Structure formats: structure tokens, C-alpha cells
A and B are shown apart, each in its own frame.
Chain A
């Protein structure tokens, strides 16, 4: 099933689930308020789930914080409204593709989340919005970890008050 067929199939499925109120997700595009993405609880969980699949941090979250909060902050504050809209459209497309090709996102395993992203990135038919969403999720997840206390202090030896200055120390 190629991407277009999957979307067509999903549209039919979505029509069927329209009447199952409470079970269906709201389209992500409905969660844009004044150009900002304001996810509901379920979409926030999706962002967390996707980010965790891309870059698992579950055991070190105490020192790196919540990636979804960071991703949302950076997307809403540091990207244009057009980019936010593209990100959200890509997010919705990803959700629908997941549902058509694997299962609903909330039940998807990390491997399925990654597989779908890799498949789509490899596809010549990937839409601009979906590509932007996937690339942004991956790069922002990485940025989040690399700007965290754990990475900066432990890996880059950052200290607010540095060690005494040594101009020519052996490596």
C-alpha cells in the first residue's frame, strides 16, 4: 500500500469512526490557536511518545526534562506561524498514516513509530509537511538532550563557575 492508497483507506476509516464520539482524535490542525500549536492532553502524549521513540530518555528525564515541552516551546516561539502550521499538518498526516499502516498512534510501539518515519523519509512521495514534522521532531529531540544539564555538565564539562584557569593543560 503506497502512501496515497493508505490515506484514501484512512479517509474511509475515519468516516466510519466519526460516529464513535470520544474515541477519535481531534485533527491536530484544530489545535492551532493564534498561530501557535496548543495540543490537548492526547496530542501532548503523542509528542512525548514520538520523541521518546526517536530518542529514549525515560531513565534520565530527571536531568534532561520533558522533551515535548521543549519541542512545543521552540516550535511556537522560535519558528514562524507558517512553520508551525506545516509542523501540525505533518503531525496529523503522520497520525493518519500510522493508523492506516500499523495501528493507532496511542498504541504504536516505538519501533513502529520509527519505522514509519524512516519509510516516509525514504519515500519520494513524502509531503513537505510530513517531512518537516519528522525532521523537526528528530532535530528538536536531539537539541533538547544536547542543551540539557546532563549533556552540558557531564559531556561538555560545563560549569557555571569554571575550574581555575589553566592556559596550556595537557589533554
Chain B
């Protein structure tokens, strides 16, 4: 039943990190743009219900109720899923999927998507990353290099606002930075220790999407200076960190060219065999289940890697019976993620006379140092790592009963404990053909969409890399004089890194890839996939900055082509 048919210049599917950028760029270029989001609207400030609450104002003081944890085991394992922001996470039970291999899928179905709850780490890729597959012989060669993306990184960074230092490290190119926060004394000490002991390893401030010194472009977005509250995942009413809600979407709306349509589940992209192009999308209203079709010259797919794959697979036609653009059977294959299994913790017995006051929104970061200039290990690629150091208050033991117990808690102010240090690995995993996302042939969800199957897993390369992380960081910690060093393999399933990538990979050869260097489907050029699904390989950096740069670049190129009449 068709209630409505409306035409736009462009349709963007997914109003999150990359979709916001697609919409912003298209609207700025004058295209009437429909931005579709399967979840509800989340208006900046208005829809951050917990943003200004103190921890003691929550019923369970931060602990998630047992029923929710039991019914939603995947999101319950996510570090960011808490009582204060649970409303931004998709419950496992609301949107089931099939884990052909264990996979904890963390999703945010709302306007803004996961840009509301992201970790805000923004490190550029370098040619050591883009050239990785070609050098090491896995996946396929990226059709772009750093030089292709560099101006777009710059554009995105200026608009988003990135705090960081110009560190001069070739594996992690510098960008357009606002002032960084300082590392604390133990982080500075470790930075010095690593520099003295290793020529090619660096500890830097983790570049992050926080406004340390808002510039006119940020004030124009009505965003203010980050107060380092560290309650970011609740939504920031100041706009101190970047989200699509505070930044790209209202910016796009200001042009007068944006139509935002929340609660719109895109069922498929409609293909016109006559023109060989996509002509629009079919949408199911999330609440009423009514079906609507929209038409446009350009279709941008920014639904998040797994959902973008699923949508293409569900967009079948006579020309593409196995899914739109799937001319070579590779759609949904070669998906990958980041290996976050390794953790290491220790005590720093020095600096007892010093402490940190206040908070900062990011931490230390060690860019990849393994297999950069040459192959030096028995595994391919490498890992980056975070580095944190903090000391908390330690209360006296709670002893006794009655007044004695009260005295033990309130009688004396808690003392500062020792400095605790820790790192976690962020390892590249290799895209493999046997890792896939596909659709269930019979089971469907509430909206009649096929259930999504996911299969990704660690391999021997990942296991060797994990052991190397333990070995190398144990050595670095020992050389720094840290004590009580303990390594831990969390054995977590893929997914909790929240960095699923690939499945609609870019490449030079249409036989072995699905997207060209401008993120257009090789076989349906007005469909542009510019979210995580386009990634040919994963490298080690948190990927959102790269998604945003790719999305902006792809949008501009598509509009250029449209204007020239070559699309």
C-alpha cells in the first residue's frame, strides 16, 4: 500500500556519524536531501534526559537491572552501556539477529546513531594503512591513498573540532588540531620511558573530537567548550564533543534543503533496469508499518556497516538477484573488526606526591609500531594501544556495626591510592572470505525484514598478535619500573570493539570489489556506500574520522558528477 511518493535530489540512509556528513555536504551543495533514520528522532539537548543528573540520582546508582542484563547479553557486555545512557542502545531483544559465530552487535537506532555514544577517538590513517593489503597480500588493494583523503580529513577535523598535538609521527599523520589536554605525570613519565627505550614507539595524547578551544565554526554550530565532564555518552548539552545531533544534522537543516524522516526503516533500494541506476528507496514506517517510496538521483548508504550490507542484500531485482551491486558474489564477505581482547594493568609506585585534578576526555595513545617499515613478526599488521594512568580514592575498610561502621566510612576522608596504569590493544584483523554478513532465507523481524546472520571470528594471526601485545607491553611496563604487571585476555567475542567494517569493500577491480575509488557501486553508480561497509581493511585506528572523511569526499564527487551530467 503506497501512501506517498516524493522526489528528492538525494537520499541518505542512516542519520549517524557518516550519514550526517553525507547530508551536510549534499545540503550545502544545494541538493534537496532526504535523511532517513530507522529509529526515533533525538534532538540535541532536548532529548538528553540524563545529561545533567548526578550519579546518586539514578535508581540503581549505575548498575543495570538483572532482567535487562539477562535479556540483552550482548549490549550488557558493552563498556559504554549503563543506566544513564541505556536509552541510546538497541536492546538485543528488540532487534534480534543470528550469530553464526559469537558476535556482540552494539547498535544505536536513533537520529545521531552511535555518534551519541562513541569513544570520540579520532586518529588519521596513513599510507602505512592504505598500502597494507597490497604490501602484505591480503584482501585487495585500496583504490585510494592518504593523499586522496588528506584534504577531507582536514575539512572534517576543522568542522568537528579535534583536540590533539602535532606529534610528527609518520604512521599517524598530524591534522588540524585544537589544543590537547596534557598527559598526567605518570603518562608523561611513561612517554619519556618509552622514548628512551624504543626508537619507533610513541606515547601521545589520544586525539579526540572535543572542543578544547572552540573556533568560530564551532560557535556557529552553537557548540561550546568541553567541560571534561566525561558523561559524554549521555549526550552533551554543550556540544563539547562532536555528534551528528549537535553538529552535522542541524547544520544541514539550516540550509533549508534537509528533510529528516525518523522512524523510517528502509526495506530496499529500488533499481531501474532501464537506466541501470537506482531510482529510490522503499521505506516501512517503524510504527505504523505503512510503506512509502521515495525517489532520488543519488542514494547514499550510511546505515552502519552491517545494516548497509543487509540493505543491499535485500535489494534484489532481475538484474541483481543476489543483492544490489552484488555482481561478483562478494557482497557481505570480507567483513572484519578490531581485536580488543588484550589488556594489561600494573601499579606505578612513584609520584605519590602528585595527583590529577579534574578530568580530561581522552587518554594516552600508542600508535602502531609493529610491522610498520618491514615485516618483523610472525603475524601480519599490528596494533595500537591506549594508555591510562589514574589514582582513585581508597576508603578505609568498612569495619564493625552501627556507629563504628559509620565512623569507618565517614570518619576520615578516603586516601589517594597508588597510581594504576593500564593499556588495551586495538589490533587490526584481516578481512576474510569466510567472515560474512548475510540474510536468513525465512526468518523475518517485526518489519518483515530478513534476520541478519553474522559470522566473524579471531584467527591465528589475531592470537599471535595478542601474545605479542602482552609480551611487548609487559616489557615496556617493566622498563618503566611498573609493578604487579598483570595481563588479561578478555576473550570477548567480536563486536564489542564496535568497529565492524567491510562487506561492500572498495577496490580497483570490479571483479574483486564492490565500490570504486569514489564509493560508488561498480555496477550501479548512483548508489554510494560511504560508511564502515566500504572499508577494504581495518588497520588499528578508531575508524569514525575516516568514515566521515570518506563520506564527505564521496558526497562531493557525486554532486560534481551530477552537475556535469556524468552520473
Contact = CB atoms under 8 A, between A and B. Distances in A.
A171 interface: yes
Contacts of B60: 73-74, 77-78
B61 interface: yes
A151 B185 CA distance: 27
Given A55-B409, A77-B65, A114-B402, 6 more contacts: A53-B402, A55-B402, A78-B64, A79-B66, A149-B56, A170-B355
Contacts of A163: 357-358
Contact of B358 (A145, A166, A171): A166
Given A73-B60, A155-B410, A160 B231 contact: yes
Interface string A159-171: 0111111111111
A167 B356 contact: yes
15 contacts: A53-B401, A55-B405, A56-B403, A80-B66, A117-B401, A143-B61, A145-B409, A152-B54, A155-B395, A162-B357, A163-B358, A165-B359, A166-B356, A167-B185, A167-B187
A160 B52 contact: yes
Given A142-B398, A146-B395, A171-B353, A165 B181 contact: yes
A54 interface: yes
Contact of B67 (A65, A77, A114): A77
Contact of B227 (A55, A114, A151, A161): A161
Given A114-B401, A148-B56, A158-B55, A167 B184 contact: yes
A118 interface: yes
B486 interface: no
B198 interface: no
B360 A165 contact: yes
Interface residues of B, number: 47
Interface in A64-117: 65, 70, 73-74, 77-80, 110-111, 114, 117
A41 interface: no
B61 A54 contact: no
Interface centre among B66, B229, B357, B393 (most CB of A within 10 A): B357
Contacts of A161: 227, 229
B354 A169 contact: yes
Contacts of B65: 77-78
Nearest to B69: A78
Interface in B358-414: 358-360, 393, 395, 398, 401-403, 405-406, 409-410, 413-414
A77 B62 CA distance: 12
A117 B405 CA distance: 14
A155 B393 CA distance: 9
A109 B144 CA distance: 78
Most buried by A among B56, B59, B63, B182: B56
B183 interface: yes
Contact of B357 (A56, A138, A147, A169): A169
Contacts of B56: 65, 147-149, 152
B61 A147 contact: yes
Contacts of A145: 406, 409-410
Nearest to A147: B61
Contact of A118 (B61, B183, B398, B401): B401
A143 B52 CA distance: 22
Interface string B471-485: 000000000000000
Interface residues of A, number: 45
Contact of A165 (B185, B188, B228, B410): B228
Contacts of B66: 77-80
A152 B395 CA distance: 11
A115 to B, nearest CB: 9
B546 to A, nearest CB: 28
Nearest to A35: B67
A164 B359 CA distance: 8
A161 B359 CA distance: 9
B301 to A, nearest CB: 39
Nearest to B359: A162
Contacts of B409: 55, 142, 145-146, 151
B352 interface: yes
A170 B401 CA distance: 35
A37 B54 CA distance: 28
B393 A56 contact: no
A150 B55 CA distance: 12
B354 A168 contact: yes
B261 to A, nearest CB: 35
A160 B54 contact: yes
Nearest 4 A/B pairs, CB to CB: A165-B358, A168-B185, A147-B61, A77-B65
Nearest to A53: B402
Interface in B306-362: 352-360
Contacts of B359: 162, 165
A111 B402 CA distance: 8
B32 to A, nearest CB: 41
B354 A170 contact: yes
Nearest to B413: A155
B358 A164 contact: yes
Nearest to A142: B398
Nearest to B416: A171
A169 B359 CA distance: 12
A117 B413 CA distance: 28
Nearest to B361: A165
Contacts of A162: 227-230, 357-359
Interface string B178-212: 00011111011000000000000000000000000
Contacts of B403: 56
A152 B414 CA distance: 11
A167 B367 CA distance: 22
Nearest to B357: A166
A65 B54 CA distance: 14
B406 A168 contact: no
A142 B396 CA distance: 13
B233 to A, nearest CB: 15
B421 to A, nearest CB: 15
A73 B410 CA distance: 24
Contacts of B414: 155-156
Specify which of A55, A149, A171 lies most central, judged by the most chain B CB atoms within 10 Å of its CB: A55
